[in-house]
Chains A and B, each alone.
Chain A
């Protein structure tokens, strides 16, 4: 059956997926920008005042905010269900 532990693991997997996707998206964006600027600058000539690169940066910011808000919402729903959040383990004395 779908136990609480499984749901935590499921949500954690989503967290890993989102964190990886955002990090990879950022690194690829930065790599692509430097590659194009160095090797194919002609691709960047012309265009409007708000270029594709600027638009992509804005989209990235909005995407990160939306994804984190959605994830936070899911976690809140998990915490409000019976069983609630996982118990907090107190740090061991002297460690």
Chain B
């Protein structure tokens, strides 16, 4: 079942990625001496570099392997996942990044706390960041452990420990600068890998799209679905709910928001968003229109990639990897496996850093120490927090090895869409928002998202084993988002407290 156990090139590329990232960390560590350096790289990252890093931070192994797999099984409906990030980056560029950069320092909570009561808002922001961050980290780590077993023949526990150890080293020693360059390296490798793979697919079909699509539709069990919707069999509400949770979830992801604080100006933050949008569009367009179709056309029914039950070796997530082996032999397989490994490292590093900042800056420095924490103390608190987050996630990933935790990925995005995004948008744009409204709305959005996912088919039926779920749809985003916005508004307009009056007054002081 292992693709690369005897592939020397894969092993060499694997060690090259580790060596390169450790070299980056060593270089970055010498430039990381303060809290600013560790958490936001001193806000000195150029806009274009940051844009590439954001693309690297966002595009996880799930985008490269998962979307190819989703197209392989469900066809055109994978387009929902392709377009959501583009809409999210557009929202970030048009509405969020400029104000975020102008008013934020280390985390998005800084923006909220400029006009609302800092203590409770920091606690809520940290809870949201840690909840969505740890869930997303678990999905990445459990997926990475399984993937590394297939790609490099490593034991699950060894893979998880290796990734956890490396990432803690990047974050605790090299901080944001190391994380940024790991993400830039990964983004460059991914763009290069996907471009070469697309070129190889098209070359196989003499650069004739008609031939490629004809072949794919011919070999697929329901070829019609490759170019037409219906594969996911979503009703309208579920489809809209998924689309909103993806879009607002990405736009409200704390690890993505934090990246916009690493640039020197608001203009550089805008440039970052645009560069990230460009790179993501390019990679996703190639994956959706070429690589995925090539996967169907060339891997379906190919005996070399089928197990004894006639299923794809390693599962449908391996389609893109098998495709690289088919088109470029062992060397290309080795390179693409290393690209996937780099992808995992970069995403896990970004998430770990966001959780670290929530623990050290939001909770420790501003809540526990009431903002009277020295810079050195906060620097060391951040390093300790990075180790704690790393150890915690590795332990969770080891415990959940055999569990189906795919639902956590959608829950993490739904949480960000139902808590971070509404509070941030209302803080920035609505004069009437009060601390009480934000706490009730954000808390209700969080509770609603968790409750509806637990009562939905992904947990109630698949995990708990009940026959029918209490809540029909696996996508509760539309309900939790509306709850968060609605309750924030309703409680705020009823709020006549002194704090509420001060909160409204501070909107004008916040400026544009």
A23–B76 Cα distance when bound, in Å, is: 20
Q: Are A64 and B239 in contact (CB under 8 A)?
A: no
A75's contact among B113, B244, B270, by CB below 8 Å, is which?
B270
Q: Are A34 and B229 in contact (CB under 8 A)?
A: yes
Distance from B96 Cβ to chain A, minimum over Cβ atoms (Å): 9
Distance from A27 Cβ to chain B, minimum over Cβ atoms (Å): 5
What string of 1s and 0s marks CB contacts (under 8 Å) between A33-58 and chain B? 11111100100110101110110011
> B113 — nearest CB in chain A belongs to which residue?
A95
Interface pick from B139-147, B168-176, B271-279, B482-490: B271-279
Q: Are B102 and A88 in contact (CB under 8 A)?
A: yes
Secondary structure of the B contact surface, majority rule? helix
Q: Are A57 and B82 in contact (CB under 8 A)?
A: yes
Residues of B within 8 A of A89 (CB): 102-103, 511
Q: Are B93 and A68 in contact (CB under 8 A)?
A: yes
Residues of A within 8 A of B214 (CB): 49
A33's contact among B91, B102, B213, B239, by CB below 8 Å, is which?
B239
> A26 — nearest CB in chain B belongs to which residue?
B87
Distance from B231 Cβ to chain A, minimum over Cβ atoms (Å): 8
Contact size range, A: 35 or more
Q: Are A51 and B90 in contact (CB under 8 A)?
A: no
A8–B228 Cα distance when bound, in Å, is: 42
Give chain A interface residues in 4-52, CB to chain B under 8 Å. 8, 12, 15-16, 18-19, 22-23, 26-27, 29-31, 33-38, 41, 44-45, 47, 49-51
Q: Are A65 and B83 in contact (CB under 8 A)?
A: no
| Total count of chain B residues near the partner, CB < 8 A | 63
Residues of B within 8 A of A31 (CB): 236, 239-240
A34's contact among B86, B103, B239, B511, by CB below 8 Å, is which?
B239
Query: Which of B77, B101, B214, B242 has the most C-beta atoms of chain A within 10 angstroms of its own C-beta?
Result: B77
Q: Are B82 and A64 in contact (CB under 8 A)?
A: no
Residues of B within 8 A of A18 (CB): 90, 94
Distance from B196 Cβ to chain A, minimum over Cβ atoms (Å): 21
Sorted nearest first, the 5 A-B pairs with minimum C-beta distance are A94-B371, A37-B230, A34-B239, A33-B229, A15-B94
Given A65-B281, A89-B511, A94-B366, 5 more pairs with CB closer than 8 A: A51-B227, A72-B93, A89-B103, A91-B103, A94-B372
Using a CB–CB distance below 8 Å, which chain A residues touch chain B? 8, 12, 15-16, 18-19, 22-23, 26-27, 29-31, 33-38, 41, 44-45, 47, 49-51, 53-54, 57-58, 60-61, 64-65, 67-69, 71-72, 75-76, 79, 85-86, 88-89, 91-95
Using a CB–CB distance below 8 Å, which chain B residues touch chain A? 76-77, 79-80, 82-84, 86-87, 89-91, 93-95, 101-105, 110, 113-114, 118, 209-210, 213-214, 217, 224, 227-230, 233-236, 238-240, 242-244, 247, 265-267, 270-271, 274, 277-278, 281, 285, 288-289, 366, 370-372, 511-512
Q: List 27 A-B contacts (CB under 8 A).
A: A16-B95, A23-B247, A26-B83, A31-B239, A47-B227, A49-B213, A50-B227, A51-B228, A53-B76, A54-B289, A57-B82, A57-B288, A58-B285, A61-B281, A64-B87, A64-B281, A65-B281, A67-B90, A68-B90, A76-B267, A86-B266, A89-B102, A89-B511, A91-B103, A91-B104, A94-B370, A95-B113
